[in-house]
Amino acid sequence: MQNIDLLFLLLGAVLVLAMHAGFAFLELGTVRHKNQVNALSKILSDFSISAIAYFFAGYYIAYGQHFFHNAPTLASDHGYNLMRCFFLLTFAAAVPAIISGGIAERAKMQPQAIATFILVGLVYPFIEGIIWNNNFHFQDALQQYFGETFHDFAGSVVVHAVGGWMALAAVLLLGARYGRYRKDGAIAAAHPPSSIPFLALGSWILIVGWFGFNVMSAQRVDAISGLVAINSLMAMVGGTLTANFMGKNDPGFLHNGPLAGLVAICAGSDIVHPIGALVIGAFAGILFVQLFTYTQNKLKVDDVLGVWPMHGVCGAFGGIAAGIFGKTWLGGLGHVSFIVQTIGTIAAIAVAFIGSLAVYGILKATIGIRLSQEDEYRGADLSIHRISANAEESKF
């Protein structure tokens, strides 16, 4: 069984690893042509830095286990602990991938690399540990005072809400792209997606990989659940349909809708009824469209891919919704509390936002986190990488 569990975790890790290609193409299809190379480069660079940070620090902070042993000791259990680290680090690396979409087109590479190392190596695993490993007896305290523990099966809060609220802090410190808004606050430039086909490709890769993200969060073959799979599917289609309707057939909203539904269902995918999952996904699709428009047009928050509405808000909604639709009277499996889900969600968001604000704030005050106006105008591709997505357009 242990060898089977190893293979199960490996397949899950590979599926979630593939999701990072989805993050890359979703960002590539959304940003302007002059920033497409940078979008691809950031995702791969951030993943590599995340792997180092999580392997050497993050996994130990979250679970109290390290890998500074000799090879025979590491291999003594067929390397199960190593495989579990691989699986979980693909989750951790999703956090900077989420942030990347919010800060696109104007962030420097080096400061972002430093922020990724700190957030994935220290801040994210602190949150992961208190929720998924009961560090500091966080779950015990909730059980003692409220009768239930905080439930987040696959990371609506731990991964998505945390990543979305970290991104919001970075976006606020960066400020809007030059020329995005006029002095009176009106939108000066819309910046529509540069490639709907690439955006759609990114969405589809994420959708497929998400079934590894959710279903294989069981981490053992004997704990795998068809309920998680069908709930993920129902939430995905619910988010797709409502986002398409609310977005009036806008392909950008259509292809982000399923992602909003999948973000929201992660927390309760193992305890809610499929109809409940459909409702959760449908409401998440509406939330994303409405909040994306509101943040861009009213709040003047230049979150390029809408990662705060998508991951920050829909993730928080999913965490709280598990405490409603997981109730037995709504067809769920029970053993969940609305109050506990709300407390856990708010606590995780607070740590994520404050931690990110501190990290990006210090970097902004010291080495700077934003491209110059000239470099931003030229585009990150030429300014940072000295080549464009179409080589014939490159000017050195």
Task: State the Cα torsion 385-388-391-394 to the nearest 10°.
Answer: -80
pLDDT at 395: 53
Mean pLDDT by 10 residues, the chain (396 residues): 88 97 98 96 98 98 92 81 95 98 97 98 98 98 97 98 98 94 82 94 98 95 96 98 97 98 98 98 98 94 97 98 98 97 98 98 98 96 92 57
- For domain 2-393, is the CATH number 3.90.1150.10? no
Cβ proximity of 2 and 75 under 8 Å: no
Which residue in the block uniquely carries the two structure tokens 């899950």?
Answer: 12
Query: Which has the closest alpha carbon to 357: 172, 135, 202, 125?
Result: 172
Helices 162-174 and 314-325: crossing angle, nearest 10°? 150
Q: What is the spatial distance between Cα 370 and Cα 35, in angstroms, rounded to a whole number?
A: 14
pLDDT at 187: 83
pLDDT at 337: 98
Identify the H or E element spanning 125. Answer: helix 124-132
Domains in the chain: boundaries: 2-393
Which DSSP symbol is given to 31? S
Query: What is residue 371's three-state secondary structure?
Result: coil
Q: What does the block give as tokens for 370? A: 């934003």
pLDDT at 396: 46
Measured in whole angstroms, the distance separating CA 5 from the mean position of its chain's CA atoms is 25
Give the other-Cβ count within 10 Å of 296's Cβ.
21
Cβ proximity of 352 and 123 under 8 Å: yes
pLDDT at 190: 81
Cβ proximity of 162 and 267 under 8 Å: no
